[in-house]
Amino acid sequence: MTGSTKTPRERYRQQVREEVKEKAWQQIAGSGASALSLNAIAKQMGMSGPALYRYFANRDELITELIRDAYRSLADAFIAAAAADDDAGAGAGRPDLAGLAHVLRRWALADPHRYFLIYGTPVPGYHAPADITAIASELMSVLLDACTAPATEPHAFEDHLATHRAWADSHPDAPPAALRQALAFWSRLHGVLSLELAGHFTGMGLDPALLFQAEVDALTGGPTT
């Protein structure tokens, strides 16, 4: 047995935690994150409340795990897309900003409840730990990279990411134009996505995908027709 091999008890614990998270997502889909109840989940799983608390100490720990998974999923999707652009030589060594926009939309449409957990109304009384902010900063790091002029000497995407992660922590040296573009990209596209996912375009006679594309074009200098 290697040091990285999980014991049967560890595998069972992980299995139960994953099942708890599945039930939690079902609750969120039905009643919202603010109504999340570990006791209700325990009842669904045929467990006692105290037994379930051996896997998640409280509601906030469960919410943190769900938020961490959501941010990690989106950050990984951004990083993978940016690395693919780098490998393909697209964007002169930078992630493609328009491509990242569509990664964001596909991710949001795939699971609106996951999207709203991290970009919707904050859960009353919940405060995310610092590591959540660190994962979220990776997204801005990739965006800053996409908004920055190509370097005269190309370097690996991982080097770009390390540089811009430092900007996300404290970015006095970030080019102001790049920072403005990244923030405009993030805020405007999230505005369109939030309205679309909440159903506010229903009955308006417009195609949300076309509206989203128009915003992407406006932000990236793409087609205007």
pLDDT tens digits, 11-50 = 999 999 999 999 999 999 999 998 999 999 999 999 998 9
Helix 59-88 with 130-147: angle, nearest 10 deg: 20
Residue 225, domain member (yes or no): no
Give residue 116's domain range: 58-220
Query: What's the average model confidence in pLDDT over 94-105?
Result: 90
Q: Do 161 and 69 share a domain, yes or no?
A: yes
Share of the chain above pLDDT 90, in %: 54
Q: Which of 103-112, 175-184, 204-213 has the lowest mean pLDDT?
A: 175-184
C-alpha dihedral (55, 57, 62, 63), degrees to nearest 10: 180
pTM score above 0.75: yes
Residue 5, domain member (yes or no): yes
Does residue 58 register a pLDDT over 80?
A: yes
CB 20 within 8 A of CB 105: no
Q: Do 152 and 65 share a domain, yes or no?
A: yes
Among 213, 178, 24, 220, residue whose Cα is nearest residue 104: 213
CA distance readout (Å), 37 to 53, 66, 77: 11, 14, 30
Kindly state the helix (H) or strand (E) to which residue 26 belongs, with its residue range.
helix 8-31
Query: What's the average model confidence in pLDDT over 89-118?
Result: 86
Question: Cα 101 to the chain's mean position, in Å?
Answer: 12
CATH, residue 107 = 1.10.357.10
Does residue 218 register a pLDDT over 50?
A: yes
Which of the two residues, 152 and 7, has the higher pLDDT score? 7
* pLDDT (0 to 100) of residue 135: 86
